[in-house]
Amino acid sequence: MSIDRREFLKIAGLTSLIGVGGVTLSQGLKKVVEASQVKPNLEALTAKRWAIVVDMSKFKTKEDYQRCIDACHKIHNVPEIPNPKQEVKWIWTETYEHAFPGNEDEYLSEEIKHMPFLVLCNHCANPPCVRVCPTKATFKRKDGIVMMDMHRCIGCRFCMAACPYGARSFNWKDPRPFIKKENENLEFPTRTKGVVEKCTLCYERLAIGLKPACVEASNGGLIFGDIEDPNSEVRKILSSRYSFRRKPELGTGPSVYYVF
């Protein structure tokens, strides 16, 4: 059978019409989602760049530190793994010489030398972990939070090598057996074996209008606010007292400040 040019064009036109029509029909359902909208939560706390000031004068006893750590680790289902090589931590204490290497002085006062410093992810302005992540599992949000997307993490641990603060922990094994049943927060996920985790500055609490858990538990020891807002609480403290940060010489621009 032979067809002439006119026949061929007719058939081609008709087939493409059916094809296009079919695709449009099958996407009918999809349109429902496209018609839907998303918006930020009304009660969400927003900022140009979040920061935390650690007021060391408010931390006197061991409990003052532990309260913050427990509050964070409880609501985020952080496992308690006894083996220090496999431990997972979001916020913890460090000695002066470990937290601020290069600044230690031979004649440093004994008080400061042995004072534990509360340390956590610095939510850097220029985060090296974000730069090295091959899957963009860790990324910087518009409000300055260095965020983790656990769905994308492939556990390559480049970010752990890149982070100069040791703020990241790898899940060497399933963390679930190490979370106490009574401490489990059913409204927050756990992590799984083979992903890296760290402090997310309580993005889930900010979204519903609450300050980070550690700040809430600190009784004023941790001050949370927008560093780019000149009237914020953090800016008022930083403008009136001497502050210092961890390893600022690396150029990462940490957002966690310490004052005595």
Residues 61 to 80 in contact with other proteins, rule: CB under 8 A:
77
Rule CB under 8 A: is residue 191 a binding residue for other proteins?
yes
Nearer to other proteins, 1 or 33 (CB): 33
Nearer to other proteins, 187 or 249 (CB): 187
The DSSP H or E segment spanning 17 is helix 5-26
CA angle 160, 166, 171 (to 5 degrees): 55
Q: Which residues pair with 51 in a beta bridge?
A: 225
- In sequence order, the 6+-apart residues with CB closer than 8 A to the CB of 25 are none
Rule CB under 8 A: is residue 39 a binding residue for other proteins?
yes
114 burial via Cβ count (<10 Å: 0-12, 13-18, 19+): exposed
Exactly one of 2, 36, 61, 231 binds other proteins (CB under 8 A); that residue is 36
Residues 77 to 116 in contact with other proteins, rule: CB under 8 A:
77
User: Nearest 10 degrees: CA dihedral of 236, 237, 243, 244?
Assistant: -80
The DSSP H or E segment spanning 68 is helix 62-75
How far apart are the C-alpha atoms of 39 and 37, rounded to whole Å? Answer: 7
Rule CB under 8 A: is residue 27 a binding residue for other proteins?
no
Residues 148 to 167 in contact with other proteins, rule: CB under 8 A:
149-151
Exactly one of 29, 85, 107, 239 binds other proteins (CB under 8 A); that residue is 29
> Letter for the amino acid at 186?
L
Least distance CB 153 / other proteins (angstroms): 11
Query: Which span sits near other proteins by CB under 8 A: 38-46, 62-70, 88-96, 159-167?
Result: 38-46
Q: Write out the residues near other proteins by the rule CB under 8 A.
A: 29-30, 32-33, 35-42, 44, 77, 139, 141-143, 147, 149-151, 184, 186-192, 203, 207-208
